[in-house]
Structure 1
Amino acid sequence: MISTVNNFHTFKPDRTYGCQMNISDTEIAWSILQKAGYSRTHELPEADVVLLVTCSIREKAEQTIWNRLKHLTALKKRCQKHKPLLKIGVLGCMAERLKTKLLEQEKLVDVLAGPDAYRDLPRLLSLGYRGQRASNVLLSLEETYADVMPVHQTPEGHSAFVSIMRGCDNMCSYCIVPFTRGRERSRPLSSILEEVRMLSDQGVKEVTLLGQNVNSYRDFSEQHFICSEGSTQLSRGFKTVYRTKQGGLLFSDLLDKVSQIDPDMRIRFTSPHPKDFPDEVLQLIQERRNICKQIHLPAQSGSSRVLHAMRRGYTREAYLDLVENIREIIPGVNLSSDFITGFCGETEEDHQETLSLVREVGYNVGFLFAYSMRKV
């Protein structure tokens, strides 16, 4: 939320919805606004701009945000006399997916900023103060906010998120992320290492590396990275929908360097894709005591037929082979997974195959979701 105080602005995002990346995006937006002369407030009555960082991954998440927007719009009307500057802004994936409906049809918001447009927030808010509805939902092939040092929400905390890449190229048939977050692009290694060192100096004891497809990280920021001979490293039996990528500094290289900054700082990463777990990554996890022996391995289904319809790039058998390989290289590893039930065309037999996969693998943690049917 933002309020005017002596010609400066104070702000406090109203809500952050969705994944860990949205928490990171909130911290990036805070940093950008702070440099533009804003500071935060924790009190709604003080605010003249309310910002929601939004999620579009499922219809339920969007419905929650619609309800919140209606509440804030009613509040805005009640406060019109003594709070004429009150504006409502929507940031993130829902701004990208529903821009026309939010801004022109429902007219519930004054400012929209997509995931790649946070640098433009000061300009957009300035237009909002002048009575205009303002938006920037352009996706970028390059934006990683590498030069923006996030303002962490709990600076005294012992854990922090560090964004290392943005976007996704996998194009799973059920997923909206490539359309709301754009193509994959990776943050330069030097920028990531600088942030992790800063967090270590601040006493942070655990860092989680973030990305929509975190283990497909590939840095082309320096010439010798571009000229390297490495090609896409896939788990055995897995394939991609895109052309094999060449060159660049890989996720295994990044993980190696991050883990050496502070031997007492625990390192985690999320969210990965099972296709991007070559032996080099697994062996590094086993060798480094500060890389947590926990791997998130989203299966989504235990049926090869459904996996094909989802465009996941692997079969049930390939997934189980990967699980076996992981446990062979990292004894005692903890595994977690995501599952979607009720996907288009899924039969009872398909569902039973998913249940049998859960029993066979014996996950430590599972995240279970009903397929979300909605209008495009």
Structure 2
Amino acid sequence: AGIEGLERIRFTTSHPNDMSDDLIAAFGECEKLMPYLHLPVQSGSDRILKAMNRRHRAADYVALIERIRAARPDILISGDFIVGFPGESEEDFEATLDLVRTVGYGQAFSFKYSPRPGTPAAERPQLPEEVKAERLARLQALLDAQARATQEAMVGRELSVLFEKPGRMEGQLVGRSEYLHAVHAVADPSLIGQIARVRITRSAPHSLAGELV
């Protein structure tokens, strides 16, 4: 963090069990460490987490999120979810929805379980595809609503954007905010590779738009 000329550090992901006290503290103490963390959980059901051999409970994960947010209140949390794991009941799935509502995700990735040859789960009775698809649709609707709300809350704020490349519109550049959102703004190509302040004026489905400050 003390390297001269290094403006940003992005710690992308960790298994929940590997989030040490020092790492959590770093999010609050190191200004160059970006306020974004991808912390996979996969399920909100303790029964399914045990079947997945995840070695943590849903309550442990929620408590960890609370500690991270205490250190860095503005941090954006991203996650991974798998629905339709063998043996997942409707009650198990509802526990996942409850966890999502409790945590509140800025971004997330979600998938239907698919058997992997040679794994114990592949040998267990599988859920019907239509059940997995229906649960995935319900989960993604909730996650998408949370992501939209997170982006819409950025409108009116000034963010630091690291411009990476030209945008699709003439005269436009696209870069990443502190929170890893894609941000589009009219800017000179000389700003590629540079960080600039951008006032966010609009939220789109998967990006933000703004004006240079």
Give the TM bin, normalised by the shorter chain: 0.5 to 0.7
Deviations 1:140-188 (A, max 9, x none): xxxxxxxxxxxxxxxxxxxxxxxxxxxxxxxxxxxxxxxxxxxxxxxxx
Residue 315, structure 1, aligned to residue 45, structure 2: no
- Opposite residue 53 of structure 2, the aligned amino acid is R
> CA separation in 2, counterparts of 1:370 and 1:278?
30
TM-score of the aligned structures, taking structure 1 as reference length: 0.30
Kept after mapping to 2: 8 A contact 1:286/1:293: no
Contact 2:27 2:71 in 1 (8 A): no
Q: For 1:373, what is the secondary structure of its paired residue?
A: coil
Give 2:40's aligned residue. 298
Matched, 1:352 2:94: yes
Q: In the alignment, which of 4, 12, 30 is matched to residue 288 of structure 1? A: 30
Work out the CA distance in 1 between the residues paired with 2:55 and 2:79: 16
Is the aligned partner of 1:270 residue 2:12? yes
Q: How does 1:1-376 map to 2 (within 5 A)?
A: 259-262=1-4, 264-376=6-118
Residue of structure 1 in register with 2:174 after alignment: none
- Aligned mates of 1:302, 1:262 — CA distance in 2: 42
Question: Identity percentage over the alignment?
Answer: 45
Q: What is the SS of the residue equivalent to 1:366?
A: strand
- The count of corresponding residues between Structure 1 and Structure 2 is 118
Instruction: Report the Cα distance in structure 2 between the residues aligned to 1:268 and 1:348, rounded to whole angstroms.
Output: 37
Instruction: Work out the CA distance in 2 between the residues paired with 1:263 and 1:274.
Output: 31
* 280 and 265 in structure 1: CA distance in 2 versus 1, 3 angstrom threshold: same
Runs of 5+ unmatched residues, structure 1: 1-258
8 Å Cα contact 2:13-2:37 kept in structure 1? no
Report the Cα offset of residue 342 of structure 1: 0.5
The CA distance in 2 between the partners of 1:314 and 1:334, in whole Å, is: 22
RCO greater where, 1 or 2, for CA within 8 Å and sep 6 or more?
A: 2
Distance 1:301 1:261, change over 3 A: same
TM-score normalised to the size of structure 2?
0.53
Whole-angstrom CA distance in 1 between matches of 2:49 and 2:41:
9
Conserved 8 A contact 1:263-1:290: no
Output the aligned Cα RMSD: 1.3
Instruction: Report the residue type matching 1:369 in the other structure.
Output: F
Instruction: Write 1 or 2 for the structure with the bigger share of strand.
Output: 2
Gaps of 5+ in 2: 119-213
* Aligned AA (1:273): H
Distance 2:31 2:61 in 1: 26
CA contact (8 A) 2:46 2:58 kept: yes
**Could you tell me how far 1:363 is from its partner in structure 2?**
0.6
Q: Post-superposition shift, 1:302? A: 0.3
Contact 1:337/1:367, CA 8 A, preserved across alignment: yes
CA offset digits 1:200-221 (Å, max 9, x no partner): xxxxxxxxxxxxxxxxxxxxxx
Deviation, 1:288, is: 1.2
CA distance in 2, matches of 1:262, 1:341: 45
Please identify runs of 4+ aligned residues in structure 1 that moved more than 6 A: none
Matches of 1:301 and 1:262, distance apart in 2: 41
Task: Report the secondary structure of 1:356's partner residue.
Answer: helix
User: What CA distance in whole angstroms lies between the structure 1 residues aligned with 2:103 and 2:30?
Assistant: 25
2:71 counterpart letter in structure 1: I
Q: Give the distance between the partners of 2:83 and 2:58, measured in 1 at CA.
A: 15
Alpha carbons 2:12, 2:36 under 8 Å: kept: no
Aligned match of 2:176: none
